[in-house]
Amino acid sequence: MQPSTKIYSDPVALVAAFAADFASWVESQPNVKLTVALSGGSTPKRLFELWAEQYASSIDWARLHFFWGDERCVAPDDAESNYGVAKALLFDHITIPETNIHRIRGEASPSDEAARYEQEIVEFAESIDGVAQFDLIILGMGDDGHTASIFPHQIEFLKSPRVCEVATHPQSGQQRITLTGPVINAAKKINFLVTGASKAEVLADVIGQTGAFETYPASAITGDKVCFYLDEPAAAKLSSLT
């Protein structure tokens, strides 16, 4: 089954719609903790800013526990730290217990931290068929079809028995810690936020399961619990699927 899509005129409209949907989702599940894995990238930056500006008092942040789908192996005060960006744009501006923020320690030994973070997730999250299960995972997609930090040259991470793996960026060689395919697919709800014309052709293959889709890690994240939030440039090639 193909994932669903929601298409908006531009990234600003996309983020506004997603933020509203997120608030409604949280409100629809009162009195329970919710586990959310965040993404890095430019679109989440807009989302964090909007959450802080418009939803600081209307979302019950104390019920939310934030994790990350991936993290660069850098210190938390590094400009490339996904956690650091979220802290500066969101967490410093809302009321949320520090214990609700489950960061990946990018400054630690990558292999040791992958093992530690895996254990933290296993101990905290629910599980389904022995696999850790998040309530929501927010993902992006790169021009090469990667998602989280599962890149085409390490596509085997889609089937890893681990919760976390140590990935290597194919151009920079930078190490990253990423959730694996089974954990991503086990989530109750999966939302991709994808913007930009440069992703249109790959995105059409990913959603339509056409062309070279099997070489794109994002294409392995599919099903009726997956929804792609897209701007019009990213969605430009989707008409060819109809």
Other Cβ atoms within 10 Å of 10 Cβ, number: 11
- pTM of this prediction? 0.96
Confidence band, pLDDT 50/70/90 cuts, at residue 75 = very high
Residues 154, 222: Cα–Cα separation, whole Å: 19
| Beta-bridge partner residues of 191 | 138, 227
Per the prediction, the chain carries an average pLDDT of 96
Residue-level pLDDT at 126: 93
198-218 residue pLDDT tens: 999 999 999 999 999 999 999
Residue-level pLDDT at 240: 54
Other Cβ atoms within 10 Å of 65 Cβ, number: 20
Q: Which helix (H) or strand (E) holds 34?
A: strand 34-38
29-70 residue pLDDT tens: 999 999 999 999 999 999 999 999 999 999 999 999 999 999
| Beta-bridge partner residues of 237 | none
